[in-house]
Structure 1
């Protein structure tokens, strides 16, 4: 399932083995959560021991000396080897302590998903070190990809430091306090209430690594690759390597980098295509040096987005040699491409205009929470790609590093975003508390971590910053933009603006005009006129809301309607109509955005839709007391089931694909003889609708930006409704809806029938409630119970219903609009057949077999 880690790739290709050893530290932890503070510690107490970790990423600000005195915590029982943690929960990482629920956590709003993210969490693990590990020639690091939040780390009772921001990736040096034999690693996290506007997750929710390397080595995020000159016949590759010496004596090191092309499976060729010649450096004890080199690749294979381009990748292998001994090998995956940000044409990749067809996405994985999972992330991204997505916005924070690896492989363009606020708050305990001390190290570490990814095409320094028209916002925006330009001059910077006027100072501080919702109603032109030298794009568009499979009447005659009780919303059930016409007031329907971009603003680079998937928290408009748990904005629901809007975007973004999509479902016994509008989404020239064989008329496409065909006077009659699309006068595609009978059985299918038996890979099992002919019963809400036999277990269930407060680990769940999802994994080391059985009262059970390998 997509690329392995680069060091593993080297071994597969038969290349030199790596002297650096990077090992997962995810397995075998003990965990406890406390709703009240169990240890009297706080960020204010721990901060002096955290701040020195930021020094490597502080250039313009003041660096922090190591604090004097006794570090906090040595008398806390949880950090001591003698503490008995047998009563604590056994967990593997990545881990989100809140996702198991229950919903309705005290003090947690609907905006944050009603799940128990708050509290203090302690993790403990025994590390075993060999005599070789502690012989004085090596450095042993703990690399944290992300932990939510205010994380502090102790080793053998010694506080090593920590990092407060939950989205940061950071490193700790364990070497000084590591000893041969068993070592006690204890990690404390502290999540306050009101620390986010959406579900933040809780815990060590991204991967954790141990890195063992020679005292002289390539530093963290220690390479920076640029390709300043690219043509079809050659490409210049510039490389900066930062090496550091944590030993006590000066070291003479030679640094050489060889570059290999990667094949479609991510495996490097056995022969390099270029070598950056050896540089010899004298590296004093405690010093860091940056070494520059360059090479030319003949006939480069360029990285670019499908379908018109190919996401070709290269691997740079940097080797440090002392004498005749290789002491470190560091790998960097990168791509070769050119980017042009044109104010008149939009985005050009390798001289080809690429319309941005993007979606915004929060970091949670639905029923799995914020804990990173590779299979679930692949499922999300490939679903979006099937819709025609070619771009992602990481809303509103740095993503897990592996998401960018996948984007590189898939050829997705990424708007990599840092912050949701600066020094002015949106919620009581959000990032504004950290901004004064941490914005520079957080931003620089984020940029250095991600800047070698070819998929990263834009940097965003913030989203909908409060007081966008103020002088303060302009000053902070200018300062953050300056940091980005210092760290990476190859990409342009934006901030997502929903309230700034073209007359304000903030838009002038960034390179790209990123507009949230303003473009739907005419602001594209105003900004374009004011800033004729800057590219303009929709950094956040639409905000259409809907509940999958739920159709409410009457149906608005407008293609862009604010939801209301009079049409499109039901405050009793808390559902929004799936005719996909409704918006919450600040945005617009997909239809409105299409028209605005295609008819009036051909120079707009494209859009990032809010959102690709539903996500936990922000259940607009039903976020109040007694309201929903998750959003309605997604084109795909929380369970990964496609809403009708999926095909509306596919019609525009993949217009060459033969497709018509018909809605609503056709099982309305209470509406016989009543007007039941039929809509069709398609890029066809013409569409005809037939009800029980009788034509309701053939309609032509409504002009630029219109992909919705409407028959608003159709009267319901049980049977069959068919939509036929035509291109060039010939039938192009068709779709059908049939009236369902009584529910008689459960149809069970699985997206991937073979999974890895590693205890992490997942199978996504879909259950359809069907009638005797196999037609999905569209309003079925049968309670389905799952049983798993064999070397596997049930992880979670979901149905995409934002109002369902059943805890995700539950084995029983009601169908929503006829569908239920089960997520299953193999046992660690499991092999063989896993049988998943779905049962519901009064209907025939269904079953599917998954093979663990």
Structure 2
């Protein structure tokens, strides 16, 4: 079917209109918006909202979206659909006042047929209610039509679906299978010509005799000298499929795909195109920071490129099906994907979450997820769910088998797993050792407290205690039926099970589906040295909205998981402004991708003070030697490295050599009195220098340094540019200690989509044009306007000269 982006000329207004208000002239006017659009991020945060820190204190509301459009007379005789890739939280759709359908799951797409109620040659009103409730999500979900919308049209015959499968890869060629469905909506059978064109393959054509309704077809295609898709070489192909009646083209589809094969076993792990690949994974939520859940391709690509540059090669879409824009970005950047069905099944984790609808809609949700993913080579694993409470119960076993079988029937080419939480699996029998924590978890679940109670218990557990629990006979007994239902045993925070699984079951494959960030030093050698362990996914790769405070060090305050004004989780390797945090460099070293030392300095102003530690929190440290006002005060310097020893010097004075890894993996620590100047670490391997890291004290801030991602922005309201503004001294060195307020002004062919810092407890709105810098940085996200032109972005701050950059907004096809 012909696909046309249907994102322009919508309006949005809060609430659901009372039908009586129209009678008495009380209906509010909507605000013009271009989709995708997250309405929640524009709300004022409320310390008293029911969802609290789970949603970053953003209140959940309902919104009405409306689009008025003309249906030309030429549309008569054609089938007209609208595809919504995602409406949060629940959707109801109307055309010209007629109810068309509802949809219960905000993370899956749906298609609505407009044909029967269109008014040809007249204006039509398409209305979508985006219905929201408090305590419907354990994280910031966003609200509204937050993914793309497409208009789909087909004439007398059209192609409704195409799936491309790599069957074999041989020396010099690859064999593909193209499966499709064509619809004949004329009054009688129709003979048409199918033409297929793929780069590297001979053009193919065949005659199809289409019965009334839907018809299937398939064809094998040989591609010569194929460029294989992999994380290192993410080559994408296009399959141009056309239907002709005589010389008249009836329809065309051009799905993208990659040529690659997958293999899995316990002796060689996961293989892509015959080569073993370890999953260097990051769990991520679906928001894009200061722009909320507005799901644009450039936002997803920006995140994926930052993750890949930090050493990751895989993501887990936690805990819901990934959006099409994210999968496209993963295809293009070369990021492998574990796509996940849901965060709950039939036992809700919040009073109004998808658990209330799961029994009725899970089969549709699973089918939609797999259909969406099929042509994306980046997707290698399907997760049936995350930390499912009923996973160890009789009904849970049966449901798990049913979900797995459903997925495998639709897509037998990929593998299944499940993110299992051991504490939940045995929550009714933890015993006296964990009786108190168990009761708190049960009470919190009954109260609908969502993530806070479980995260508090998990984060407080020391690794030794967790390891002992992970290998308990009771847990093994409870998990066995569900683990046996999937291709890969997925364990959340159960690292100690990885090696023994191979002793119990030599053919079982294991993945760390979720693990603590600082655990990577002891965890990665297990992945690296055991073929049956195919990878690890840290919580989390990129900071996110909601689950506020899980990673924030609160000094002198006792809190299970943050308090207002906490907004972010703050446990990501990469912060909200795309800056890598020290734990990211620890991970890169553990992965074997960095061989130079890295210095992380505990902030002297808080050194020695107690904070609410948990296993998601790494050292409260910075890659900085600039702490004005802290001269002479003690602090701790961590040197991260993969060498034998390191030597630290302060202003040329050696502080001695220390062995790496004596206390913590890849780490040596020094007690140092802060003195401005230079801090230098030199690594030694076999008693020879093998790399160094140097920090110098920055001078007073003298300028704003601007860095642009995407100087050329797509017009049509779909393009984004990310512009970082750093406070630097006269030599251009970043001063991470300066927090002065920065103002941004946007003029011309673009608009400010979001502006903010990585401060996890900031109080301002991301819609404001002023923001205090955090660690010397703020970031503006600029959205291209509808028309081509130039967009000027200007940053200013007290005592500093304005700095401007000019972006080009250009008309072009959607990426």
Structure 2 length-normalised TM: 0.84
> Does 2:268 align with 1:292?
no
CA contact (8 A) 2:148 2:295 kept: yes
For 2:311 and 2:56, the matched residues in 1 are separated by 33
1:781 maps to 739
CA drift of 1:247 comes to: 3.6
Residue aligned with 1:367, SS: helix
CA 1:603–1:434: 2 relative to 1, 3 Å: same
Instruction: Note the 1:4-403 alignment, pairs <5 A.
Output: 20-34=1-15, 38-39=17-18, 87-104=29-46, 106-134=48-76, 136=77, 138-178=78-118, 179-219=120-160, 222-260=161-199, 273-275=201-203, 277-284=205-212, 287-306=213-232, 310-403=233-326
Name the residue aligned to 1:817: 775
Aligned residue for 1:589, secondary structure, equals helix
3-state SS in 2 of match to 1:695? strand
1:741 deviates by 4.3
Q: Distance in 2 between matches of 1:152 and 1:23?
A: 22
Change (3 A) 1:86 1:28: farther
Residue 564 of structure 2 corresponds to which residue in structure 1? 626
Q: For 1:511-546, what per-residue CA distance to the aligned partner results, in whole angstroms no more than 9, with x for missing partners? A: 111111101xx111233333322211111112x3xx
Partner of 2:521: 591
Answer yes or no: is the 8 Å Cα contact 1:145–1:401 preserved in 2.
yes
Q: How far is the alpha carbon of 1:642 from its aligned partner?
A: 1.9
What's 1:713 paired with? Answer: 671
Query: Over residues 424-457 of structure 1, what are the superposed CA-to-partner deviations in whole Å (9 max), with x where a residue is unaligned?
Result: 1111111111111110111111111211111111
Instruction: Pick one of 386, 390, 410 that aligns with 2:333.
Output: 410
Q: Distance in 1 between matches of 2:726 and 2:695?
A: 15
Residues 227/667 of structure 1: CA separation in 2 closer, same or farther (3 Å cut): closer
Offset from partner CA, 1:294-337 (integer Å, 9 cap, x none):
2222333211121xxx2222222222233443211122222222
Instruction: Find the aligned partners of 1:280 and 1:76 in 2 and give their Cα distance.
Output: 54
Corresponding position of 1:63: none
Please state whether the residue corresponding to 2:398 is helix, strand or coil.
Answer: helix
For residue 409 of structure 2, what is the aligned residue in structure 1?
Answer: 486
Give the structure 2 partner of residue 575 of structure 1.
none
CA pair 440-235 structure 1, distance change in 2 beyond 3 A: same
Q: Is contact 1:29–1:124 with CA below 8 Å preserved after alignment?
A: yes
- Contact between 2:51 and 2:59, CA under 8 Å: does it hold in 1? no
Tell me the residue number matched to 2:641: 682
SS in 1 for 2:303: helix
- Alignment partner of 2:515 out of 510, 527, 541: 541
1:458 aligns with 2:381: yes
CA distance in 2, matches of 1:634, 1:318: 42
For the residues of structure 1 that align with 2:242 and 2:597, how far apart are their CA atoms? 51
Contact 1:743–1:769 at 8 Å: present in 2 too?
yes
Corresponding residue number in structure 1 for 2:761: 803
8 Å CA contact 1:148, 1:167 repeated in 2: yes
Matched, 1:525 2:499: yes
Q: 1:607 and 2:536 equivalent? A: yes
Deviations 1:398-435 (A, max 9, x none): 12202111211222111111111111111111111111
Secondary structure of the structure 1 residue equivalent to 2:217: strand
- Distance in 1 of aligned mates of 2:131 and 2:47: 16
For the 8 Å contact 1:388–1:654, the answer to whether it is kept is no
Structure 1 distance, partners of 2:257, 2:202, is 14
CA distance in 2, matches of 1:744, 1:238: 61
- Structure 1 counterpart of 2:450: none
CA distance in 2, matches of 1:513, 1:422: 18
- How many angstroms does 1:794 deviate by? 2.7
In 2, the alpha carbon distance for the partners of 1:745 and 1:229 equals 57
Structure 1 length-normalised TM: 0.80
Which runs of 5 or more structure 1 residues have no equivalent in the other structure? 1-19, 40-74, 262-272, 545-587
Q: Residues 168 and 398 of structure 1 are in contact (CA less than 8 Å); yes or no, is this contact kept in structure 2?
A: yes
Number of aligned pairs?
A: 725
Match of 1:761 among 719, 723, 730: 719
Q: Distance in 2 between matches of 1:591 and 1:401?
A: 34
Distance 1:86-1:468 versus aligned 2 partners, 3 A rule: closer
- Matched with 1:498 is 421
The 3-state SS of whatever aligns with 1:384 is helix
CA RMSD in angstroms, aligned pairs only: 2.7
Match of 2:580 in 1: 642
Q: Comparing 498-507 with 467-476, which one deviates more in the overlay?
A: 498-507
Change (3 A) 1:356 1:671: same
- 1:62 equivalent in structure 2: none
Change (3 A) 1:164 1:215: farther
Q: Distance in 1 between matches of 2:353 and 2:633?
A: 51
C-alpha spacing 1:760/1:258, structure 2 compared with 1 (3 Å): closer
Distance (Å, rounded) in 1 between the aligned partners of 2:25 and 2:263? 58
Measured after TM superposition, the shift of residue 159 of structure 1 is 1.5
| Cα shift readout 1:675-724 (whole Å, capped 9, x = no counterpart) | 4222223345553322101222344554999433x132333322110123
How far apart are the structure 1 equivalents of 2:643 and 2:709? 29
Unaligned runs of 5+ in 2: 426-474, 551-558, 602-621, 810-815
Residue 784 of structure 1: SS of its match in structure 2? strand
1:673 positional shift: 4.4
The SS at the match of 2:743 is strand
Does the 8 Å CA contact 1:101/1:115 hold for their aligned counterparts? no
Write out per-residue CA displacement over residues 132-154 of structure 1, whole angstroms, 9 at most, x where no aligned residue: 112x1x11110111111321211
Q: C-alpha displacement at 1:602, in angstroms?
A: 5.2
Measured at CA, do residues 753 and 233 of structure 1 come closer, stay the same or move farther in structure 2, by a change above 3 Å? closer
- Cα distance, 1:817 vs. partner? 2.2
Deviation at residue 672 of structure 1 after TM alignment = 4.3
d(CA) in 2 for partners of 1:194, 1:754: 40
Counterpart CA distance in 2 for 1:775 and 1:91 is 40
Q: Distance in 1 between matches of 2:663 and 2:156?
A: 62
Which of 492, 516, 528 pairs up with 1:516?
Answer: 492
Contact 1:359/1:612 (CA < 8 Å) preserved in 2? yes
Paired residue secondary structure (2:75)? coil
Q: Does 1:444 align with 2:382?
A: no
